[in-house]
Amino acid sequence: MTSQAADGPETVAATRRSKITPEREREFFDAVLEQIRECGYESVTMEGVAASTRCSKSTLYRQWKTKPQFVAAALRASRRVRFAGIDTGSLAEDLRQAARAAGDWSGKDTRLLQALGHAWTADKELAEALREALVNPEIAALQEMLARGVARGEVRADHPALEYIPAMMFGVLRVRPVLSGQYADADYLARFVEATVLPALGLTQDPGRRSRDD
Amino acid sequence: MTSQAADGPETVAATRRSKITPEREREFFDAVLEQIRECGYESVTMEGVAASTRCSKSTLYRQWKTKPQFVAAALRASRRVRFAGIDTGSLAEDLRQAARAAGDWSGKDTRLLQALGHAWTADKELAEALREALVNPEIAALQEMLARGVARGEVRADHPALEYIPAMMFGVLRVRPVLSGQYADADYLARFVEATVLPALGLTQDPGRRSRDD
DNA sequence: GCTCATCGATACGTCTCCGTACCGATACGC
DNA sequence: GCGTATCGGTACGGAGACGTATCGATGAGC
């Protein structure tokens, strides 16, 4: 409903109903998400988005009925699989690479999630768009990663830590700003995975140090 | 500056400058925090707090200059040490009890932190009050717990997982609503500690299952 | 080349909220 | 018992934002 011209960046539908190209739409979406990150969802105004993209408020309201619908559309359009394609053949190495990959976009996405604040708990459409864009793809990628490790026999299928790995990874991303005032970067995440995730899964392959060697 | 009558609940200073008793003040604070949890920081209005406590907006503005200062005062006054006094003599048991204790208040505090959204990142006073009230006491209690375990020789002082335990505990609290739509309760937290925190620390004392027994 | 839908700009109405001011009533301090 | 400061209620001004309406200009489609 939002963008009917989804068949390509240049080829537009025969009877064009909007002059908004997909590139232009992306500009709107990027602008509103960036303003949410900087000012918080409640403080973002349609006027502000219109001004920063040099379009008119009417143009925005012609495409999207209300501000939450606009933001939800922007969220859905920002859906990207961040660390897909990680498949090193080793679960530990997969998780290490996932940590480094997550560190690269953690700032933007963590800030966005934080800035959405209470809005997504109140608006069903926002919540759904949020999960669809930021949460579900990453969870699915992580679980595929874990499933491959199980299939290779690196971890038992009934290992109790398995179901908590996503919560560990995204939890530390989300809580770091509250605890230490800074976002989790790739290095921090890599150390976290090494120190907690891999040991919890029994994947500590470092022979130099055992946990209970005293 | 906010409440000068801090010498007791009944005994008031000689030259009383405000008719707001500490109990009445607590009513204001409870009301605003509850409204923040329910509606989000931005949507909370001074009118709403005044109405719910049957006081006048003037009364609130006589005591606190602005809304952020009011909320910050409420946060600071809500400072409580949630799981202090846990000292079973065993680090693993301490952590298990901490998990159960955290599960009891996780709903309220997690919702509050979530509902504060972007406000505390923008307002220095809010951020400081937030840390002082919700974050620092818990971190300190956890670290004392860990320090006792180290002193008893249960964990090596340079164990790499030590510094990430607070992030694990509070991270999973904070991220659970996003991942599964519900808050972490005591049972979930207890299972999380058992499945990830204790193994990461090398404290798995369950002899029936080892992580690398295959 | 013409037509018309859409664009950007702007003005407008409505609403909500912040923070202040005023005004009797009440209850504390002396 | 009296004076006075604070309380609760309300009205007010100012600001800002949502969403709508209007209007010339532009450019795509035929």
User: What pLDDT, on a 0 to 100 scale, did the predictor assign at position A92?
Assistant: 97
CB B156 within 8 A of CB A214: yes
Q: Which residues contact B113 (CB under 8 A, 6 or more apart)?
A: A178, B130, B134, B174
Percent of chain B with pLDDT over 70: 87
* Whether residue B213 has pLDDT greater than 80: no
Contacts of A211 in chain B (CB under 8 A): 159, 201-202
Q: Is B140 on the interface with A (CB under 8 A)?
A: no
Q: How does residue B151 score in pLDDT terms, banded at 50, 70 and 90?
A: very high
User: What pLDDT, on a 0 to 100 scale, did the predictor assign at position A16?
Assistant: 53
Distance between start and end Cα atoms, chain B? 63
A117 and B118 within 8 Å at the Cβ level: the answer is yes
* Whether residue B192 has pLDDT greater than 80: yes
Rounded to whole angstroms, the Cα distance separating A4 from A17 reads: 9
User: What pLDDT, on a 0 to 100 scale, did the predictor assign at position A205?
Assistant: 58
User: What pLDDT, on a 0 to 100 scale, did the predictor assign at position A17?
Assistant: 59
Chain A's closest residue to B199, CA to CA, is A200
Most confident of the following: A13-27, A110-124, A195-209? A110-124
Average pLDDT value over all residues in chain A: 88
Rounded to whole angstroms, the Cα distance separating A72 from A120 reads: 9
Letter string b/e over residues B61-95, b meaning 16 or more CB atoms within 10 A of that residue's CB:
eebbeebbbbbbbbbbbbeeebbeebeeebbbebb
Q: How far is CA B129 from the centre of its chain?
A: 11
Note the pLDDT tens digit of each residue in B101-148: 998 878 899 999 999 999 999 999 999 999 999 999 999 999 999 999
pTM: 0.88
Which of B72, B70, B95, B91 lies closest to B83 in space, CA to CA? B95
B118 and A40 within 8 Å at the Cβ level: the answer is yes
Q: What angle do CA A186, A187, A189 make, to 5 degrees?
A: 65
Mutate to test the interface with A, among B211, B213, B214 (most CBs of A within 10 A): B211
Which of B83, B110, B81, B103 lies closest to B94 in space, CA to CA? B83
Q: How does residue B37 score in pLDDT terms, banded at 50, 70 and 90?
A: very high
Q: How does residue B204 score in pLDDT terms, banded at 50, 70 and 90?
A: confident
Contacts of B178 in chain A (CB under 8 A): 113, 130-131, 135, 170, 174
Residue A160 per-residue DSSP state: T
* Whether residue B212 has pLDDT greater than 50: no
Compute the average pLDDT of residues B78-100.
91
* Whether residue A76 has pLDDT greater than 70: yes
Q: How does residue B4 score in pLDDT terms, banded at 50, 70 and 90?
A: very low
CB B118 within 8 A of CB A114: yes
* Whether residue B190 has pLDDT greater than 90: yes
Does B65 contact strand C, using a CB cutoff of 7 Å? Answer: yes
Average pLDDT value over all residues in chain B: 88
Percent of chain B with pLDDT over 90: 79
Which of B76, B184, B54, B210 lies closest to B137 in space, CA to CA? B76
Q: Cβ–Cβ contacts within 10 Å for residue A93, how many?
A: 14
Compute the average pLDDT of residues B70-97.
92
User: What pLDDT, on a 0 to 100 scale, did the predictor assign at position B106?
Assistant: 80
* Whether residue A22 has pLDDT greater than 60: yes
Does B11 contact strand C, using a CB cutoff of 7 Å? Answer: no
Rounded to whole angstroms, the Cα distance separating B67 from B56 reads: 14
Residue A134 per-residue DSSP state: I
Contacts of A171 in chain B (CB under 8 A): 167-168, 170-176
Q: How many CA atoms lie within 13 A of B180 on its CB side?
A: 14
Chain A's closest residue to B37, CA to CA, is A118
* Whether residue B96 has pLDDT greater than 70: yes
Note the pLDDT tens digit of each residue in A114-161: 999 999 999 999 999 999 999 999 999 999 999 999 999 999 999 999
Rounded to whole angstroms, the Cα distance separating A78 from A97 reads: 22
* Whether residue B6 has pLDDT greater than 80: no
Q: Is A191 on the interface with B (CB under 8 A)?
A: yes
Compute the average pLDDT of residues A192-211.
79
Q: How does residue B205 score in pLDDT terms, banded at 50, 70 and 90?
A: low
User: What pLDDT, on a 0 to 100 scale, did the predictor assign at position A151?
Assistant: 98
Q: How does residue A8 score in pLDDT terms, banded at 50, 70 and 90?
A: very low
Rounded to whole angstroms, the Cα distance separating B155 from B135 reads: 24
Letter string b/e over residues B173-189, b meaning 16 or more CB atoms within 10 A of that residue's CB:
bbbbbbbeeebbeeebb
Comparing A6-15, A114-123, B144-153, the range with the smallest average pLDDT is A6-15
The backbone torsions φ and ψ at residue B160, rounded to the nearest 5 degrees and listed phi first, read: -65, -20
Percent of chain A with pLDDT over 90: 80
